[in-house]
Structure 1
């Protein structure tokens, strides 16, 4: 896969899957715009680690729809065009229906959908506008196996990712005549800094038992699938959802 001189925008790019994806694109010759919300020190560290030159930080809270438009416009003003948009940013809040009050329940749905679905939808809109002007492009949305298997402790998370899948497939149909191809990567639990900081030993053991590989996904493995969907030659995979969960959840 060769992305020489391609202009790539990645949300939630300062760490985890976003960081690994930025590194993978940079190593293939791309110029990468790293979107992040607040952790500027982590973002600067990621930027400094990227191979090559011409990469740029874009600090924006994309849960604001105005910021979504501003992010794409600033990116295009800086680079001249947008070749690939990777909607990776996402949040998760625990909200078990049998333990939380109604205020927390509604708060979790509103906050999760604001970032996981509405931000991705808004960025798809503005990204598609930019791509139509330049002759085409790629959009890759990062979903989750939770869209298929259910998320009993955080149902809004699973619902937001299921909606993201459906939206992505609708856009794949609509945007194909404009030479804009849309794909989805649905990871299982991934070995990131956040996972290391939040998982208890018992939770980790349970997760390891779910896959016959007896491990979690590596961020680089998720990035590999993202790069495939963004690459030249993958056009006829538009609308596809690629599972990267180590056979921990298999769907027919």
Structure 2
């Protein structure tokens, strides 16, 4: 299938970053903005922190979009509001995720069920929903856009204390493979990355604590 598509410019792209209130999402938004792109900063519940992300971005035209991505209607609204505010979506970064500790031997069945449902809703379903909405926007505008899924090394190494996180991140990688093949004829590139540890708010304590040396020793860098 050879479809007429418009290549993306080097700068000035319209970018939606989910889960950008802090940590890796904030850093990703800042890099896009520093490159001359305009960014829609998404947040779930951390509105104040997302505002700080927005205020930290260089350039102008950036917007703040809040919503619960585990709700299909809310996910659609977030994508549509971002597209309307930016004039379209050229790049989607699926960064929003939950990661709760729940080792099987010490987790009750009720808590286990709730945690798995949350992980599936946010880590997998939300990624699929935003990808659909953003990709349709790109296709309708004949734009050779990009979708970037933030997976995890846990998808390949196993997460004994966070099994739902590891499993859902593996699903994110599998989804990315399927979408890459599906959307390539439209000029849309899809890539999934599997980061290790970043010194973000979530894991800084682990890196500076007793297990930090062991964690750093797992990386050849």
Fold match by TM threshold 0.5:
yes
1:25 to 6, 9, 32: 32
The equivalent of 1:83 in structure 2 is: 90
Checking the alignment, whether the CA contact within 8 Å between 1:3 and 1:25 is kept in structure 2 is no
Equivalent residues of 2:40, 2:86 under 8 A apart: no
> 1:33 & 1:68 partners in 2: Cα distance?
14
RMSD: 1.6
The alignment partner of 1:187 has SS state of: coil
Question: Which of 178, 194, 199 is matched with 2:186 structurally?
Answer: 178
SS in 1 for 2:167: helix
Q: Determine if the alignment matches structure 1 residue 98 to structure 2 residue 111.
A: no
Matched, 1:39 2:46: yes
1:165 corresponds to which of 153, 158, 173: 173
Q: Which consecutive residues of structure 1, in runs of 5 or more, have no partner in the other structure?
A: 214-252
Count of residue correspondences: 213
In the TM superposition, what are the counterparts of 1:1-252 in structure 2 within 5 Å?
Answer: 3-136=10-143, 137-197=145-205, 201-213=209-221
Unaligned ranges ≥5, structure 2:
1-7
Equivalent residues of 2:176, 2:192 under 8 A apart: yes
Asked whether the equivalents of residues 96 and 152 of structure 1 are also in contact (C-alpha less than 8 Å), the reply is yes
Q: Structure 2-normalised TM-score?
A: 0.91
1:41-90 CA-partner distances (Å, limit 9, x unpaired):
21111111111000010011111111111011111111221100000011
**Do the aligned partners of 2:147 and 2:190 also contact (CA within 8 Å) in 1?**
yes
Deviation at 1:209, TM superposition (A): 2.5
Moved over 3 A (4+): 197-200
C-alpha separation in 2, matches of 1:200 and 1:104: 29
**TM-score, length of structure 1 as denominator length:** 0.81
TM-superposed CA distance for 1:6, in Å, is 0.7
Aligned-partner SS, 1:162: helix
Q: Deviations over 1:116-169 (max 9, x none)?
A: 111000111111111111113110000000000111111111110111111110
Q: Name the CA distance, whole Å, in 2 between partners of 1:178 and 1:212.
A: 37
